[in-house]
Amino acid sequence: MAGRFSVYVVFLLSGFAALLYQVVWQRTLYAIYGINVESVTMVVTAFMLGLGLGSLAGGAISKDRNRPVLAIFSIIEFAIGLFGSVSLSVFYAVGNVTLGMSALATFAVTFLLILIPTLLMGATLPLLVAHLVRSSGNVGKSVGTLYFVNTLGSALASAASVLFILGHAGLKGAVRIAALLNVTVSLLAYVAHRRAVRLSEIEKTLARVTAMAAKNVAHEVQS
């Protein structure tokens, strides 16, 4: 139970950071390119497509039961935090480069820029689902609970960003908070991965000892 609870906390923080990025990146891109139907469509489409494709990729990765899904999740969260920490500088640099381009070229470059981190974000859910399913065997409960926790984190971030974070920390401060959360999540996931590995090693050792003891008892009985 404690292991599952830590995974829920990790994914709540992950969802909080992801939504915070979305709010900040939307405002930044609107400041660069202006608020219009095209800009709104581009941002929302890139986020949804990235999350969807990332989910497919994460599902494909997690099919192999030998893959350390928590460790992979940890690496992905760290990569998201790394990108997030420099994202505003990257967006402004790309904005300056694309100002002289056609509308289609500008759309494509910015779309791909948002698509990359959202692909990583989308891969996190199936990885954690795979981890919980391996330990509990309950697919429905794992998917439903994680989706609820992640959505709750996003809802909290949406309210906090408008009511407190953006007003007190600004866009740069909000991005730093999101990146710090990603790094924290990455570390927590890695610790959980190491704990799971140790427990697995202990279980395998006990199983070998038990098997050897049973074999010895059976040999003595036969003798």
4 or 118: which leads in pLDDT: 118
201 is a domain residue: no
pLDDT score at 213: 54
93 or 211: which leads in pLDDT: 93
71 is a domain residue: yes
pLDDT score at 197: 66
Statement: residue 62 has pLDDT above 70: yes
Phi-psi region of 101 (alpha: psi -120 to 50; beta: other; left: phi over 0): beta
pLDDT score at 31: 80
Domain of residue 69 covers 2-194
Residue in the structure block whose two tokens are 């994202």: 87
Rounded-to-integer distance, Cα 169 and Cα 171, Å: 7
Statement: residue 217 has pLDDT above 50: yes
Statement: residue 1 has pLDDT above 50: no
Predicted TM-score (pTM) of the model is: 0.84
Rounded-to-integer distance, Cα 65 and Cα 100, Å: 49
Q: The domain spanning residue 158 has which CATH number?
A: 1.20.1250.20
pLDDT score at 74: 93
Nearest Cα to Cα of residue 55 among 120, 111, 141, 139 = 120
Query: To 5 degrees, how large is the angle CA 58–CA 64–CA 65?
Result: 110
217 is a domain residue: no
Question: pLDDT-derived band of residue 13, with 50, 70 and 90 as boundaries?
Answer: very high
209 is a domain residue: no
Q: Which two tokens stand for residue 119?
A: 């692909």
21 is a domain residue: yes
Statement: residue 194 has pLDDT above 60: yes
pLDDT score at 78: 95
Amino acid at the residue 192 = A
Question: pLDDT-derived band of residue 2, with 50, 70 and 90 as boundaries?
Answer: very low
Share of the chain above pLDDT 70, in %: 84
- Average pLDDT of the segment spanning 90-112: 82
208 is a domain residue: no
Question: pLDDT-derived band of residue 210, with 50, 70 and 90 as boundaries?
Answer: low
Question: pLDDT-derived band of residue 200, with 50, 70 and 90 as boundaries?
Answer: low
Most confident of 13-17, 200-204, 214-218: 13-17
As for how many domains the chain has, the answer is 1
220 is a domain residue: no
68 is a domain residue: yes
